[in-house]
Amino acid sequence: ALEVKFIHLMSGVAPKDRAEKMLIRNLAWAAYQAPNQALTLEPINTFDVPGYALDSFEQAVYLMDWVGAPNIHLQFDAYHAHRITGDVLSAWQKFGPRTKHIQISRYPGRHEPVGGDIDYHAFFDGITKDGYDGVVSAEYNPENSTLDGLGWLHTYA
């Protein structure tokens, strides 16, 4: 009804072996029920979300390949990529071709995507060079007010 571009499918917090089997069944079901809907999987780090069952890019790609549905894609969250791998650019080089949606925020702190340990100028150069033409969204907690925090947009214009 909302005509959303992507639906983010989450694994939740559960024992990995049980969650993975259920996730495979649920992914296959969702892909079959909505073959024209883009579905995304997002690895989430277990430092911020202890016990999250989908906690690596390798695991996400494995699940995508196991199900084999053309409408299941990777959601690349640079904050989680940094927390999981320690190297956003290398993670992008390896998993970028499977990505349909990108999210950004500062690391550490999950605030506006300026400063911090992630070089977003290099990241944006990399995704541009690789021909990524999808959505890049910001998912963060404003450090102060929302309006004050929107000044970061000019940094990458």
- Residue 122: φ, ψ to 5°: -65, -40
- Residues 6 or more apart whose CB falls under 8 angstroms from that of 135 comprise 5, 6, 101, 102
Retrieve residue 76's tokens: 């690349």
Q: Name the active-site residue from 20, 112, 139, 143.
A: 139
- Whether the CB-CB separation of 143 and 111 falls below 8 Å is answered with yes
- Known catalytic residue at 42: yes
Q: Name the active-site residue from 3, 20, 42, 58.
A: 42
Cα 63 to Cα 77: distance, rounded to the nearest angstrom: 18
For residue 106, give the 3-state DSSP assignment: coil
Torsion of CA 40, 4, 68, 42, to 10 degrees: 0
Active site positions, annotated: 42, 139
